[in-house]
Structure 1
């Protein structure tokens, strides 16, 4: 499994809600802080979006925005400091429906919000900016289609809709990350920056492909085609952790996923990710995840 697929598979979207927004005139709406990840696509018209603490950004038809940090934000027909309460505007709208401001008809946006469960969400979304903008492109068109399908599934509630929305949410996450990687936009330290950096990406791919391998910094530097020192310095600068720290964190995230499922003994999980000693695995897991493996499994509702 390639790194991006592996990472997305550890994010578990749930409690998805979606709605459209149809507006006209000099409109402005204010969204409060939110949990989870929000994604919006401009279908027609234009607007401004301003995330708290950031500059306002102009959006036009075909553009998509993603808000992974949960900060308050404002959508408006023109830059403004005020906005009507979005919660009031959307409160009468059913799943997959459309909120209308004024007579509507001049601007339309579709959007979805879903929660991400599990302790993996925080580390895996680390490094994402508070606002990701994907300008009109084939990638944003695909993302927009996914949003529209989520809205339709929620609105029509046909047999299988729950599973369909779950898979569509995974697809949306994948499209978001693909688009962000392809855009080359600046990002904070983390796996996203690592995959974007051609000098260390081969080593990251190797660790994700075979996490149980007894990797050394020298091995990974060779995979990346660099000297040990150059590779280690570059890796730390891009990810804010050493190669072995990164490998350990990835192993623990994989272990956490299997512990949540509760179907595999701890000793087997330890061996499968490269630990010959269950006790050594337990120490590493507690250091990274904050709980001993069995305690983590119990807190996650699983049994060993």
Structure 2
């Protein structure tokens, strides 16, 4: 069965969601978190809070079931009252012996957090395709699936039942995918790029062909036919959604697949070049260096010795 392009892209960049735990708040409290360095997202499982992100003037008001995604590498403060002096998160969580701790007095608020791990190139791709900050309110018409996942995550996090750790990680992964779906369904309001193209129903047939057989010498007419468009209409539409022409996308997809293959022990530049459609090792090396910014032989050395 042919796989969908978004799943293939997330696999290509080694996207893994890590559930980090959270905290229960009550009374008056404020916590300042350091720059996350990775794409971070969190859900408000119970209650309300205010959120202030460094470099963004807007104060976000979050309520039960809301989900927030942060791609910008900046500090942020979560609080019941932003006029309070916030406690550093490192201090709050320093001696935590559980994944969910208590802050303040009471339990009217529950915050659950996670982050997205990717390889270095994948992290850049995600950040380029997503806004600095994204607030998905629970009250929107299509938020039902998010609410369900948040509820299930709360239940698993609180249960401490056998397998709860894996269940929380799996639910966090589903939550991240649902966040991407919700955001990328915005069409023209979404930044052009890989992720938007992967969720565009008009382009999925052409992307599926390129992803399934990158070694094939795909032509613009072939790809246009797959998407039921004329050659000119397809080329124009593809660039407006993906941010690059179709055959440029094909080259980048080939090089990213080659990048993964070269890092595997026992790989060879010649075999990888052939697998992604290049009969000449020299032509492949030139294309690889242009797209990835380094020699394919360097990737192969990293695969042979990961400490390099």
Q: Deviations over 1:57-87 (max 9, x none)?
A: 2221112222233332222225659633222
How far does the alpha carbon of each residue in 1:113-163 deviate from its partner, in whole angstroms, 9 at most, with x for none? 35323433322442111223333333313543675588579x78x7996x8
Q: Which runs of 5+ in 1 are unaligned?
A: none
2:235 is matched with 232
Structure 2 residue runs without a partner (length 5+):
none
88-97 or 40-49, which deviates more: 88-97
Hey, what's the Cα distance between the residues in 1 that align with 2:292 and 2:84? 41
Q: Does 1:298 align with 2:304?
A: no
Among 218, 223, 236, the alignment partner of 2:221 is 218
Q: TM-score, with normalisation over the residues of structure 2?
A: 0.81
Stretch deviating more after TM superposition (141-150 or 14-23): 141-150
2:190 equivalent in structure 1: 187
Q: 1:150 to 1:261 in 2, by over 3 A?
A: farther
Give the structure 2 partner of residue 24 of structure 1: 26
SS at match of 2:78: strand
Q: Is the 8 A contact 1:259 1:302 kept in 2?
A: no
Aligned to 2:137: 135
Cα displacement (A) at 1:45: 0.4
What SS is found at the alignment partner of 1:284?
helix
- The alpha-carbon deviation at position 44 of structure 1 amounts to 0.8
Contact 1:194–1:201 under 8 Å retained in 2 = yes
Higher deviation after alignment, 246-255 or 81-90: 81-90
Q: Which residue of 1 aligns with 2:72?
A: 69
Question: d(CA) in 2 for partners of 1:87 and 1:149?
Answer: 26
| Equivalent pairs, count | 299
**Maintained 8 Å contact 1:14/1:117:** no
Written as runs of structure 1 = structure 2, the 5 A alignment for 1:10-159 is: 10-12=12-14, 16=18, 18-54=20-56, 55-78=58-81, 83-94=86-97, 96-98=99-101, 100-136=102-138, 137-141=143-147, 143-144=149-150, 147-148=153-154
Relative to structure 1, is the Cα distance of residues 51 and 143 closer, same or farther in structure 2, using a 3 angstrom cutoff? farther
| In structure 1, C-alpha distance between the alignment counterparts of 2:305 and 2:173, rounded to whole Å | 23
SS at match of 1:20: strand
* Equivalence for 1:258: 261
Q: 1: distance between equivalents of 2:145 and 2:266?
A: 37
Distance 1:117 1:171 in 2: 19
Q: 1:247 to 1:80 in 2, by over 3 A?
A: farther
What RMSD over aligned residues (CA atoms) do the two structures have, in Å?
3.2
Give the alignment partner of residue 281 of structure 1, picking from 278, 284, 287. Answer: 284
Task: Quote how far apart the aligned CAs of 1:295 are.
Answer: 0.6
Give the TM-score normalised by structure 1. Answer: 0.82
Secondary structure (helix, strand or coil) at the match of 2:263 reads helix
8 Å CA contact 1:96, 1:152 repeated in 2: no
